[in-house]
Amino acid sequence: MRSALLAALVLTICCSPASAQVRAPRRADDGVYGRFSSDLAISFGVHGGAVLGDPVLANTRPTDAILSVSADVRLRVLDSAGIVIAPEWRPNGSSRLFAGIDVRPGFFTRFLYSLTARDRYVDLFFDSIGADIGAVVFAPNGRVSFAFSVGFGCEIPLWVPEDLTGAFALRLGARWVGAGANDVFGPAQHVDDWTVSAGLLIRFSVNAGIASWEPSRY
């Protein structure tokens, strides 16, 4: 009789609403992290960096590193691919504007192979590793010029709320800008510089209906 009562008590506790509420936060770390319900990620960041090989200073101090301050705005679908616009100010060098695409294949790799660490900080860090590919607009010699640019970066989550609608993160990145002296739309001099940066960003997600969109059926 006592064994039956004990078994019934254990079954009641396991099936109770209170027990379900305790387990709910664990199910939130499912590896998707709200991407299908809030399918558009928007982030704003401010960064400081060091520059090597600035085209304005190349003739006088080719090996000196200078400082830069940059900001960026990023919009990504499913937090995996989108656009980025990033102005960069260099007090002693060539300021510029970068525009391109932000590609982060980590989430789709995990999703296809059902991989997750069951920890939002670890998964979101892995998902943030990616590349920026685009063009830079600047005027190192007084006329507007264009150059190819590619960058790499990652974001270390500092705080992620339970509802996964936002986050604060530390972003580490590096960007290369290159153009030849004979490029049609390039500057009159060869450009080959690197910027290594670190900064803080805030990210939040909204439901734009992209994940649930489908063509009309007849």
pLDDT tens for 116-170 read 998 999 999 999 999 999 999 998 878 899 999 999 999 999 999 887 888 999 9
In-domain check, residue 19: no
Given the DSSP bridges, would you call strands 65-77 and 81-89 parallel, antiparallel or unpaired? antiparallel
Return the closest-CA partner of residue 136 out of 54, 199, 62: 54
In-domain check, residue 200: yes
User: What is d(CA 204, CA 37) in angstroms, rounded to the nearest whole number?
Assistant: 13
In-domain check, residue 6: no
**Domain ranges, residue 120:** 31-206
Hunting for tokens 């500057």 — which residue is that? 187
In-domain check, residue 8: no
- Token pair for 44: 């704003």
In-domain check, residue 22: no
**DSSP annotation of 211:** T
In-domain check, residue 1: no
Return the closest-CA partner of residue 51 out of 61, 41, 59, 42: 61
pLDDT tens for 51-86 read 988 888 876 655 567 899 999 999 999 999 999 999
In-domain check, residue 149: yes
Q: CATH code at 69? A: 2.40.160.20
In-domain check, residue 16: no
**Beta-carbon neighbour count of residue 111 at 10 Å?**
16
pTM, rounded to two decimals: 0.81
- How many structural domains is the chain composed of? 1
